[in-house]
Structure 1
Amino acid sequence: MRFLYDIPTPILAVLLFIAMIAIIEGAQRLGRRLDGEKWQHSHDMLIMTTRAMLGLLGLLLAFSFSLSAIRHEARRTLVLKEANSVVSAYLRCDLLAPAARDQMRELLRSYAGLRLQYFEVGHNEAEEQRVIQESQSMQGRLWAMAAGVDNYVEPRSTGLSMLASAIDEMIAISRDRHASRANRVPEPVLWMLFVMVLVSSGAVGYCFGASQQHGHIFAFSFVFLVCLVVYIILDLDRPRRGLMKVDQTPLLELQTTLRR
Protein backbone atom coordinates (compact mmCIF):
# COMPACT_ATOMS: atom_id res chain seq x y z
CA MET A 1 0.00 0.00 0.00
CA ARG A 2 1.47 3.40 -1.02
CA PHE A 3 -1.38 5.91 -0.64
CA LEU A 4 0.00 7.65 2.44
CA TYR A 5 3.59 7.12 1.33
CA ASP A 6 3.01 9.03 -1.90
CA ILE A 7 1.64 12.10 -0.08
CA PRO A 8 4.43 14.54 0.98
CA THR A 9 5.08 14.52 4.72
CA PRO A 10 4.52 18.29 5.25
CA ILE A 11 1.07 18.03 3.64
CA LEU A 12 0.08 15.15 5.93
CA ALA A 13 1.34 17.02 8.99
CA VAL A 14 -0.50 20.22 8.05
CA LEU A 15 -3.74 18.34 7.35
CA LEU A 16 -3.46 16.56 10.68
CA PHE A 17 -2.79 19.88 12.45
CA ILE A 18 -5.85 21.52 10.90
CA ALA A 19 -8.05 18.50 11.65
CA MET A 20 -6.94 18.41 15.30
CA ILE A 21 -7.56 22.14 15.78
CA ALA A 22 -11.00 21.85 14.18
CA ILE A 23 -11.98 18.84 16.29
CA ILE A 24 -10.76 20.40 19.53
CA GLU A 25 -12.65 23.63 18.79
CA GLY A 26 -15.82 21.74 17.91
CA ALA A 27 -15.54 19.48 20.96
CA GLN A 28 -15.00 22.52 23.22
CA ARG A 29 -18.17 24.15 21.97
CA LEU A 30 -20.05 20.90 22.48
CA GLY A 31 -18.62 20.53 25.99
CA ARG A 32 -19.74 24.03 27.00
CA ARG A 33 -23.34 22.90 26.54
CA LEU A 34 -22.95 20.56 29.50
CA ASP A 35 -24.38 22.28 32.55
CA GLY A 36 -22.42 22.58 35.78
CA GLU A 37 -24.42 19.97 37.69
CA LYS A 38 -23.87 17.26 35.07
CA TRP A 39 -20.20 18.16 34.94
CA GLN A 40 -19.89 17.65 38.70
CA HIS A 41 -21.38 14.17 38.37
CA SER A 42 -19.46 13.10 35.29
CA HIS A 43 -16.13 14.93 35.38
CA ASP A 44 -14.29 12.03 37.06
CA MET A 45 -15.43 9.62 34.36
CA LEU A 46 -14.64 12.07 31.55
CA ILE A 47 -11.17 12.84 32.90
CA MET A 48 -10.36 9.16 33.44
CA THR A 49 -11.54 8.32 29.91
CA THR A 50 -9.47 11.15 28.45
CA ARG A 51 -6.42 10.02 30.39
CA ALA A 52 -6.89 6.47 29.09
CA MET A 53 -7.14 7.75 25.51
CA LEU A 54 -4.04 9.87 25.88
CA GLY A 55 -2.21 6.90 27.38
CA LEU A 56 -3.18 4.73 24.42
CA LEU A 57 -2.14 7.52 22.07
CA GLY A 58 1.25 7.74 23.76
CA LEU A 59 1.76 3.98 23.42
CA LEU A 60 0.78 4.05 19.75
CA LEU A 61 3.08 7.00 19.07
CA ALA A 62 5.95 5.21 20.80
CA PHE A 63 5.24 1.98 18.90
CA SER A 64 5.08 3.77 15.53
CA PHE A 65 8.23 5.77 16.28
CA SER A 66 10.05 2.58 17.23
CA LEU A 67 9.02 0.89 13.97
CA SER A 68 10.16 3.79 11.80
CA ALA A 69 13.41 4.35 13.74
CA ILE A 70 14.38 0.66 13.56
CA ARG A 71 13.75 0.58 9.81
CA HIS A 72 15.71 3.80 9.31
CA GLU A 73 18.68 2.41 11.23
CA ALA A 74 18.51 -0.87 9.28
CA ARG A 75 18.69 1.05 5.98
CA ARG A 76 21.66 3.07 7.21
CA THR A 77 23.47 -0.09 8.31
CA LEU A 78 22.87 -1.75 4.94
CA VAL A 79 24.46 1.20 3.12
CA LEU A 80 27.63 0.71 5.19
CA LYS A 81 27.57 -3.06 4.64
CA GLU A 82 27.14 -2.63 0.91
CA ALA A 83 30.09 -0.24 0.71
CA ASN A 84 32.25 -2.68 2.69
CA SER A 85 31.22 -5.59 0.47
CA VAL A 86 32.22 -3.69 -2.70
CA VAL A 87 35.60 -2.79 -1.16
CA SER A 88 36.14 -6.44 -0.24
CA ALA A 89 35.37 -7.56 -3.79
CA TYR A 90 37.62 -4.82 -5.19
CA LEU A 91 40.58 -5.90 -3.04
CA ARG A 92 40.13 -9.55 -3.95
CA CYS A 93 40.46 -8.65 -7.61
CA ASP A 94 44.21 -9.06 -6.97
CA LEU A 95 43.52 -12.80 -7.19
CA LEU A 96 42.71 -12.39 -10.89
CA ALA A 97 45.04 -12.29 -13.84
CA PRO A 98 46.02 -8.69 -14.76
CA ALA A 99 43.61 -8.29 -17.70
CA ALA A 100 40.63 -9.74 -15.79
CA ARG A 101 41.60 -7.78 -12.67
CA ASP A 102 41.54 -4.42 -14.45
CA GLN A 103 38.25 -5.24 -16.18
CA MET A 104 36.52 -6.29 -12.97
CA ARG A 105 37.76 -3.27 -11.06
CA GLU A 106 36.36 -1.00 -13.75
CA LEU A 107 33.02 -2.80 -13.48
CA LEU A 108 33.07 -2.39 -9.70
CA ARG A 109 33.66 1.36 -10.06
CA SER A 110 30.64 1.62 -12.33
CA TYR A 111 28.63 -0.56 -9.97
CA ALA A 112 29.44 1.68 -6.99
CA GLY A 113 28.13 4.65 -8.96
CA LEU A 114 24.90 2.80 -9.69
CA ARG A 115 24.39 1.93 -6.04
CA LEU A 116 24.74 5.60 -5.11
CA GLN A 117 22.41 6.54 -7.93
CA TYR A 118 19.87 4.10 -6.49
CA PHE A 119 19.41 6.55 -3.62
CA GLU A 120 19.73 9.74 -5.65
CA VAL A 121 16.75 8.95 -7.92
CA GLY A 122 14.54 9.95 -5.00
CA HIS A 123 10.82 9.26 -5.04
CA ASN A 124 10.73 8.21 -8.68
CA GLU A 125 9.62 4.61 -9.09
CA ALA A 126 10.42 4.42 -12.83
CA GLU A 127 13.99 5.67 -12.32
CA GLU A 128 14.39 3.40 -9.31
CA GLN A 129 13.44 0.33 -11.36
CA ARG A 130 15.81 1.40 -14.13
CA VAL A 131 18.73 1.64 -11.72
CA ILE A 132 17.82 -1.71 -10.15
CA GLN A 133 17.78 -3.39 -13.55
CA GLU A 134 21.12 -1.86 -14.49
CA SER A 135 22.56 -2.96 -11.14
CA GLN A 136 21.30 -6.52 -11.66
CA SER A 137 22.77 -6.57 -15.16
CA MET A 138 26.12 -5.41 -13.75
CA GLN A 139 25.91 -8.06 -11.04
CA GLY A 140 25.46 -10.71 -13.71
CA ARG A 141 28.60 -9.56 -15.51
CA LEU A 142 30.59 -9.45 -12.27
CA TRP A 143 29.43 -12.92 -11.29
CA ALA A 144 30.28 -14.32 -14.72
CA MET A 145 33.83 -13.01 -14.38
CA ALA A 146 34.17 -14.26 -10.81
CA ALA A 147 32.97 -17.73 -11.84
CA GLY A 148 35.46 -17.99 -14.71
CA VAL A 149 38.21 -20.27 -13.40
CA ASP A 150 40.60 -19.27 -16.18
CA ASN A 151 40.56 -15.65 -14.97
CA TYR A 152 42.57 -16.47 -11.82
CA VAL A 153 46.22 -16.69 -11.03
CA GLU A 154 47.46 -19.75 -9.16
CA PRO A 155 46.14 -21.23 -6.92
CA ARG A 156 42.94 -20.83 -8.86
CA SER A 157 40.69 -22.70 -6.43
CA THR A 158 41.59 -20.32 -3.60
CA GLY A 159 40.99 -17.22 -5.71
CA LEU A 160 37.67 -18.56 -7.01
CA SER A 161 36.47 -19.32 -3.49
CA MET A 162 37.40 -15.92 -2.07
CA LEU A 163 36.29 -13.64 -4.91
CA ALA A 164 33.08 -15.54 -5.68
CA SER A 165 32.19 -15.34 -1.98
CA ALA A 166 32.75 -11.56 -1.97
CA ILE A 167 30.64 -11.03 -5.11
CA ASP A 168 27.88 -13.24 -3.72
CA GLU A 169 27.79 -11.24 -0.48
CA MET A 170 27.71 -7.98 -2.43
CA ILE A 171 24.70 -9.17 -4.47
CA ALA A 172 22.89 -10.43 -1.37
CA ILE A 173 23.32 -7.11 0.45
CA SER A 174 21.97 -5.20 -2.54
CA ARG A 175 18.85 -7.36 -2.42
CA ASP A 176 18.52 -6.71 1.31
CA ARG A 177 18.76 -3.00 0.58
CA HIS A 178 15.99 -3.21 -2.02
CA ALA A 179 13.82 -5.10 0.46
CA SER A 180 14.46 -2.58 3.23
CA ARG A 181 13.37 0.20 0.88
CA ALA A 182 9.87 -1.29 0.78
CA ASN A 183 9.87 -2.29 4.45
CA ARG A 184 7.92 0.65 5.86
CA VAL A 185 5.56 1.18 8.78
CA PRO A 186 2.33 -0.54 7.67
CA GLU A 187 -0.34 1.88 6.51
CA PRO A 188 -3.01 0.32 8.82
CA VAL A 189 -0.80 1.30 11.77
CA LEU A 190 -0.58 4.89 10.49
CA TRP A 191 -4.34 5.07 9.90
CA MET A 192 -4.92 3.76 13.43
CA LEU A 193 -2.52 6.41 14.72
CA PHE A 194 -4.36 9.19 12.88
CA VAL A 195 -7.73 8.00 14.19
CA MET A 196 -6.39 7.79 17.75
CA VAL A 197 -4.93 11.31 17.46
CA LEU A 198 -8.25 12.77 16.31
CA VAL A 199 -10.35 10.91 18.90
CA SER A 200 -7.99 11.99 21.68
CA SER A 201 -8.16 15.56 20.42
CA GLY A 202 -11.94 15.43 20.67
CA ALA A 203 -11.76 14.10 24.22
CA VAL A 204 -9.32 16.82 25.29
CA GLY A 205 -11.44 19.55 23.69
CA TYR A 206 -14.64 18.27 25.27
CA CYS A 207 -13.08 18.21 28.76
CA PHE A 208 -11.85 21.80 28.32
CA GLY A 209 -15.29 22.92 27.19
CA ALA A 210 -17.24 21.03 29.85
CA SER A 211 -15.04 22.47 32.59
CA GLN A 212 -15.60 25.96 31.15
CA GLN A 213 -11.85 26.42 30.84
CA HIS A 214 -10.19 28.30 27.98
CA GLY A 215 -7.15 26.10 27.42
CA HIS A 216 -6.15 27.42 24.01
CA ILE A 217 -2.45 27.52 24.85
CA PHE A 218 -2.47 24.00 26.26
CA ALA A 219 -4.55 22.71 23.35
CA PHE A 220 -2.26 24.32 20.81
CA SER A 221 0.81 22.88 22.56
CA PHE A 222 -0.77 19.42 22.56
CA VAL A 223 -1.59 19.67 18.85
CA PHE A 224 1.86 20.99 17.93
CA LEU A 225 3.76 18.31 19.86
CA VAL A 226 1.64 15.44 18.53
CA CYS A 227 1.97 16.68 14.94
CA LEU A 228 5.73 17.07 15.43
CA VAL A 229 6.09 13.46 16.61
CA VAL A 230 3.91 12.20 13.74
CA TYR A 231 6.01 14.21 11.29
CA ILE A 232 9.20 12.59 12.60
CA ILE A 233 7.63 9.12 12.36
CA LEU A 234 6.66 9.71 8.73
CA ASP A 235 9.97 11.38 7.86
CA LEU A 236 12.04 8.50 9.25
CA ASP A 237 10.00 6.13 7.11
CA ARG A 238 10.86 8.05 3.91
CA PRO A 239 14.63 7.68 3.55
CA ARG A 240 15.01 9.56 0.24
CA ARG A 241 13.11 12.74 1.05
CA GLY A 242 12.47 14.94 4.02
CA LEU A 243 14.86 16.01 6.75
CA MET A 244 16.21 12.63 7.90
CA LYS A 245 17.58 10.95 4.80
CA VAL A 246 19.69 7.82 5.01
CA ASP A 247 23.35 8.85 5.12
CA GLN A 248 25.13 7.88 1.90
CA THR A 249 28.61 8.86 3.11
CA PRO A 250 29.96 5.26 2.98
CA LEU A 251 29.12 5.02 -0.74
CA LEU A 252 30.52 8.49 -1.44
CA GLU A 253 33.75 7.55 0.30
CA LEU A 254 33.74 4.26 -1.59
CA GLN A 255 33.74 6.07 -4.93
CA THR A 256 36.72 8.15 -3.82
CA THR A 257 38.58 5.03 -2.66
CA LEU A 258 37.98 3.11 -5.89
CA ARG A 259 39.28 5.99 -8.03
CA ARG A 260 42.72 5.81 -6.40
Structure 2
Amino acid sequence: MASLLYGVGWPGGLLFAVGLFASILIALELGRLVWQWQVDSGREPETTGVSAVASAIFALLGLLVAFTFSGAASRFDMRRTLIVQEANDIGTAYLRLDLLPQPARGELQEIFRQYLDARLDAYRAIPDRKRIDEALVRSDVLRERLWIKSVTESQRTANTVATMLLLPALNAAFDTASTRLASTKEHPPSVIFGLLFALCWIGAFFAGYGMARRGPRNWLHALFFAAALSVTLYVIVDLEFPRLGLIRVDAFDEVLQEVRNAMR
Protein backbone atom coordinates (compact mmCIF):
# COMPACT_ATOMS: atom_id res chain seq x y z
CA MET A 1 0.00 0.00 0.00
CA ALA A 2 2.80 2.38 0.80
CA SER A 3 4.13 1.99 -2.72
CA LEU A 4 1.22 4.10 -3.92
CA LEU A 5 2.82 7.13 -2.33
CA TYR A 6 6.15 6.99 -4.06
CA GLY A 7 7.35 8.78 -7.16
CA VAL A 8 10.08 10.88 -8.70
CA GLY A 9 11.23 13.34 -6.10
CA TRP A 10 13.78 15.94 -5.11
CA PRO A 11 16.74 15.49 -5.42
CA GLY A 12 15.74 12.48 -7.56
CA GLY A 13 13.59 14.82 -9.64
CA LEU A 14 16.60 17.06 -10.21
CA LEU A 15 18.62 14.11 -11.50
CA PHE A 16 15.70 13.15 -13.73
CA ALA A 17 15.51 16.68 -15.19
CA VAL A 18 19.28 16.89 -15.73
CA GLY A 19 19.33 13.45 -17.35
CA LEU A 20 16.43 14.38 -19.62
CA PHE A 21 18.12 17.65 -20.56
CA ALA A 22 21.35 15.82 -21.41
CA SER A 23 19.55 13.14 -23.43
CA ILE A 24 17.74 15.78 -25.51
CA LEU A 25 21.05 17.51 -26.21
CA ILE A 26 22.47 14.14 -27.30
CA ALA A 27 19.50 13.59 -29.63
CA LEU A 28 20.03 17.07 -31.11
CA GLU A 29 23.71 16.30 -31.65
CA LEU A 30 22.89 12.96 -33.29
CA GLY A 31 20.61 14.76 -35.74
CA ARG A 32 23.39 17.22 -36.55
CA LEU A 33 25.89 14.38 -37.01
CA VAL A 34 23.56 12.63 -39.48
CA TRP A 35 23.31 15.88 -41.45
CA GLN A 36 27.10 16.24 -41.37
CA TRP A 37 27.55 12.64 -42.48
CA GLN A 38 25.35 13.27 -45.51
CA VAL A 39 27.33 16.39 -46.41
CA ASP A 40 30.67 14.62 -45.99
CA SER A 41 29.49 11.73 -48.20
CA GLY A 42 28.67 14.17 -51.00
CA ARG A 43 24.90 13.93 -50.74
CA GLU A 44 22.56 16.88 -50.42
CA PRO A 45 20.81 16.84 -47.02
CA GLU A 46 17.08 16.15 -47.13
CA THR A 47 14.90 19.18 -46.38
CA THR A 48 11.31 18.76 -47.58
CA GLY A 49 10.74 15.26 -46.24
CA VAL A 50 12.44 16.01 -42.95
CA SER A 51 10.31 19.12 -42.43
CA ALA A 52 7.10 17.17 -43.02
CA VAL A 53 8.08 14.38 -40.62
CA ALA A 54 9.31 16.84 -37.99
CA SER A 55 6.07 18.81 -38.20
CA ALA A 56 4.01 15.67 -37.66
CA ILE A 57 6.16 14.58 -34.73
CA PHE A 58 5.99 17.95 -33.01
CA ALA A 59 2.23 18.08 -33.57
CA LEU A 60 1.88 14.71 -31.84
CA LEU A 61 4.27 15.82 -29.10
CA GLY A 62 2.27 18.99 -28.48
CA LEU A 63 -0.97 17.01 -28.27
CA LEU A 64 0.53 14.51 -25.85
CA VAL A 65 2.08 17.21 -23.66
CA ALA A 66 -1.27 19.02 -23.48
CA PHE A 67 -3.05 15.77 -22.58
CA THR A 68 -0.62 14.71 -19.86
CA PHE A 69 -0.25 18.22 -18.40
CA SER A 70 -4.00 18.73 -18.20
CA GLY A 71 -4.51 15.33 -16.57
CA ALA A 72 -1.69 15.88 -14.08
CA ALA A 73 -3.05 19.29 -13.08
CA SER A 74 -6.55 17.84 -12.59
CA ARG A 75 -5.25 15.03 -10.41
CA PHE A 76 -3.18 17.51 -8.41
CA ASP A 77 -6.29 19.59 -7.66
CA MET A 78 -8.25 16.44 -6.79
CA ARG A 79 -5.62 15.36 -4.24
CA ARG A 80 -5.74 18.75 -2.54
CA THR A 81 -9.53 18.60 -2.46
CA LEU A 82 -9.48 15.14 -0.88
CA ILE A 83 -7.20 16.35 1.92
CA VAL A 84 -9.69 19.08 2.81
CA GLN A 85 -12.60 16.65 2.51
CA GLU A 86 -10.89 14.15 4.82
CA ALA A 87 -10.25 16.90 7.36
CA ASN A 88 -13.92 17.91 7.27
CA ASP A 89 -15.15 14.32 7.59
CA ILE A 90 -12.79 13.54 10.47
CA GLY A 91 -13.76 16.73 12.26
CA THR A 92 -17.46 15.93 11.90
CA ALA A 93 -17.06 12.34 13.09
CA TYR A 94 -14.99 13.42 16.08
CA LEU A 95 -17.58 15.96 17.17
CA ARG A 96 -20.34 13.35 16.95
CA LEU A 97 -18.55 11.21 19.48
CA ASP A 98 -20.04 13.64 21.99
CA LEU A 99 -23.33 11.81 21.47
CA LEU A 100 -21.94 8.84 23.38
CA PRO A 101 -21.79 8.72 27.19
CA GLN A 102 -18.62 8.57 29.25
CA PRO A 103 -16.33 6.65 29.60
CA ALA A 104 -16.84 5.31 26.06
CA ARG A 105 -16.65 8.82 24.62
CA GLY A 106 -13.21 9.49 26.10
CA GLU A 107 -11.83 6.13 24.96
CA LEU A 108 -13.06 6.63 21.41
CA GLN A 109 -11.72 10.18 21.28
CA GLU A 110 -8.28 8.94 22.28
CA ILE A 111 -8.37 6.24 19.60
CA PHE A 112 -9.49 8.83 17.06
CA ARG A 113 -6.57 11.10 17.96
CA GLN A 114 -4.14 8.22 17.52
CA TYR A 115 -5.78 7.34 14.19
CA LEU A 116 -5.34 10.86 12.85
CA ASP A 117 -1.74 10.96 14.08
CA ALA A 118 -1.06 7.76 12.14
CA ARG A 119 -2.64 9.23 9.01
CA LEU A 120 -0.48 12.34 9.26
CA ASP A 121 2.64 10.29 9.93
CA ALA A 122 2.07 8.15 6.84
CA TYR A 123 2.24 11.09 4.45
CA ARG A 124 4.94 12.98 6.31
CA ALA A 125 7.19 9.91 6.28
CA ILE A 126 7.54 9.97 2.48
CA PRO A 127 9.87 8.72 1.02
CA ASP A 128 10.80 6.45 3.95
CA ARG A 129 9.01 3.24 2.91
CA LYS A 130 9.45 1.51 6.24
CA ARG A 131 7.92 4.38 8.21
CA ILE A 132 5.06 4.69 5.72
CA ASP A 133 4.24 1.00 6.00
CA GLU A 134 4.29 1.17 9.78
CA ALA A 135 2.07 4.26 9.89
CA LEU A 136 -0.47 2.81 7.44
CA VAL A 137 -0.66 -0.49 9.31
CA ARG A 138 -1.13 1.42 12.56
CA SER A 139 -3.91 3.53 11.08
CA ASP A 140 -5.69 0.42 9.77
CA VAL A 141 -5.58 -1.20 13.20
CA LEU A 142 -6.86 1.95 14.89
CA ARG A 143 -9.60 2.35 12.31
CA GLU A 144 -10.80 -1.18 13.00
CA ARG A 145 -10.77 -0.57 16.76
CA LEU A 146 -12.57 2.73 16.33
CA TRP A 147 -15.31 1.22 14.19
CA ILE A 148 -15.90 -1.90 16.33
CA LYS A 149 -16.03 0.07 19.57
CA SER A 150 -18.29 2.74 18.05
CA VAL A 151 -20.75 0.09 16.85
CA THR A 152 -20.68 -1.62 20.24
CA GLU A 153 -21.22 1.58 22.21
CA SER A 154 -23.93 2.79 19.83
CA GLN A 155 -25.84 -0.44 20.45
CA ARG A 156 -25.51 -0.05 24.21
CA THR A 157 -26.77 3.51 24.42
CA ALA A 158 -30.48 4.25 24.46
CA ASN A 159 -29.86 7.33 22.32
CA THR A 160 -30.70 6.23 18.77
CA VAL A 161 -29.46 9.57 17.45
CA ALA A 162 -25.92 8.43 18.22
CA THR A 163 -26.25 5.45 15.91
CA MET A 164 -27.95 7.47 13.17
CA LEU A 165 -25.33 10.26 13.16
CA LEU A 166 -22.07 8.82 14.43
CA LEU A 167 -21.70 5.67 12.35
CA PRO A 168 -22.38 7.33 8.95
CA ALA A 169 -19.91 10.09 9.85
CA LEU A 170 -17.23 7.54 10.72
CA ASN A 171 -17.93 5.64 7.52
CA ALA A 172 -17.59 8.83 5.48
CA ALA A 173 -14.24 9.63 7.15
CA PHE A 174 -12.89 6.15 6.45
CA ASP A 175 -14.15 6.17 2.85
CA THR A 176 -12.48 9.51 2.16
CA ALA A 177 -9.21 8.24 3.64
CA SER A 178 -9.32 5.20 1.34
CA THR A 179 -10.18 7.36 -1.67
CA ARG A 180 -7.35 9.72 -0.86
CA LEU A 181 -4.84 6.88 -0.65
CA ALA A 182 -6.13 5.33 -3.87
CA SER A 183 -5.82 8.69 -5.65
CA THR A 184 -2.05 8.54 -5.20
CA LYS A 185 -1.85 5.73 -7.79
CA GLU A 186 -4.03 7.47 -10.38
CA HIS A 187 -1.52 8.16 -13.15
CA PRO A 188 -1.51 7.73 -16.92
CA PRO A 189 -0.33 4.30 -18.12
CA SER A 190 3.44 4.02 -18.28
CA VAL A 191 3.21 3.61 -22.05
CA ILE A 192 1.95 7.22 -22.25
CA PHE A 193 5.05 8.50 -20.49
CA GLY A 194 7.21 6.24 -22.63
CA LEU A 195 5.63 7.62 -25.79
CA LEU A 196 6.02 11.17 -24.51
CA PHE A 197 9.74 10.77 -23.86
CA ALA A 198 10.26 8.90 -27.14
CA LEU A 199 8.60 11.69 -29.12
CA CYS A 200 10.79 14.23 -27.32
CA TRP A 201 13.94 12.39 -28.35
CA ILE A 202 12.77 11.78 -31.92
CA GLY A 203 11.67 15.40 -32.22
CA ALA A 204 15.04 16.53 -30.85
CA PHE A 205 16.80 14.35 -33.44
CA PHE A 206 14.90 15.96 -36.31
CA ALA A 207 15.34 19.41 -34.78
CA GLY A 208 19.09 18.83 -34.62
CA TYR A 209 19.04 17.72 -38.25
CA GLY A 210 17.01 20.76 -39.28
CA MET A 211 19.20 23.23 -37.35
CA ALA A 212 22.46 21.79 -38.72
CA ARG A 213 24.55 24.00 -40.98
CA ARG A 214 28.06 24.49 -42.22
CA GLY A 215 30.33 26.37 -39.89
CA PRO A 216 30.13 26.70 -36.10
CA ARG A 217 27.04 25.26 -34.47
CA ASN A 218 24.50 27.44 -32.64
CA TRP A 219 24.46 26.15 -29.07
CA LEU A 220 21.99 28.81 -27.92
CA HIS A 221 19.10 27.33 -29.91
CA ALA A 222 19.96 23.80 -28.81
CA LEU A 223 20.19 24.75 -25.13
CA PHE A 224 16.88 26.61 -25.15
CA PHE A 225 15.16 23.77 -27.00
CA ALA A 226 16.47 21.14 -24.56
CA ALA A 227 15.68 23.31 -21.52
CA ALA A 228 12.10 23.99 -22.65
CA LEU A 229 11.35 20.30 -23.24
CA SER A 230 13.03 19.00 -20.09
CA VAL A 231 11.43 21.60 -17.80
CA THR A 232 7.99 20.91 -19.29
CA LEU A 233 8.30 17.17 -18.80
CA TYR A 234 9.67 17.63 -15.28
CA VAL A 235 6.67 19.78 -14.31
CA ILE A 236 4.30 17.11 -15.64
CA VAL A 237 6.02 14.37 -13.62
CA ASP A 238 6.22 16.66 -10.57
CA LEU A 239 2.47 17.27 -10.71
CA GLU A 240 1.87 13.52 -10.82
CA PHE A 241 3.92 12.99 -7.62
CA PRO A 242 3.25 16.12 -5.57
CA ARG A 243 4.86 15.00 -2.32
CA LEU A 244 8.43 14.55 -3.49
CA GLY A 245 9.19 17.31 -5.96
CA LEU A 246 9.05 21.08 -6.07
CA ILE A 247 5.27 21.13 -6.60
CA ARG A 248 3.76 19.85 -3.34
CA VAL A 249 0.48 19.37 -1.50
CA ASP A 250 2.14 19.24 1.91
CA ALA A 251 0.78 22.65 2.86
CA PHE A 252 -2.76 21.25 2.72
CA ASP A 253 -1.83 18.78 5.46
CA GLU A 254 -2.02 21.78 7.78
CA VAL A 255 -5.80 21.54 7.43
CA LEU A 256 -5.63 18.05 8.97
CA GLN A 257 -3.16 19.27 11.57
CA GLU A 258 -5.57 22.02 12.59
CA VAL A 259 -8.27 19.41 13.08
CA ARG A 260 -5.84 17.38 15.19
CA ASN A 261 -4.97 20.43 17.28
CA ALA A 262 -8.67 20.96 17.98
CA MET A 263 -9.03 17.42 19.34
CA ARG A 264 -8.61 18.18 23.03
TM-score (norm 1): 0.88
1:119 correspondence with 2:123 = yes
Aligned to 2:241: 238
RMSD: 2.4
- Please show how residues 1-260 of structure 1 align to structure 2 within 5 Å: 5=7, 8-35=12-39, 38-39=44-45, 42-148=46-152, 149-152=154-157, 154=158, 156-209=159-212, 214-246=217-249, 247-259=252-264
Provide the C-alpha distance between the structure 1 equivalents of 2:173 and 2:226, rounded to a whole number of angstroms.
Answer: 46
CA distance in 1, matches of 2:115, 2:73: 29
Q: Deviations over 1:199-223 (max 9, x none)?
A: 0000000011168784422221111
SS of the equivalent of 1:32 reads helix
Unaligned stretches of 5+ residues in structure 1: none
Structure 2: distance between partners of 1:53 and 1:214: 23
Q: CA 1:151/1:244 → structure 2, altered by over 3 Å: closer, same or farther?
A: farther
Cα 1:249–1:185 change in 2 (3 A) is farther
Q: How many Å separate the matches in 2 of 1:72 and 1:212?
A: 47
- The alignment-based identity, stated in percent, is 26
In the TM superposition, what is the alpha-carbon distance from 1:54 to its structure 2 partner? Answer: 1.2
Structure 2: 5+ residue runs without aligned partners? none
Encode CA deviations 1:139-169: one digit per residue, 9 max, x unaligned: 11111122123553x4x22210110001111
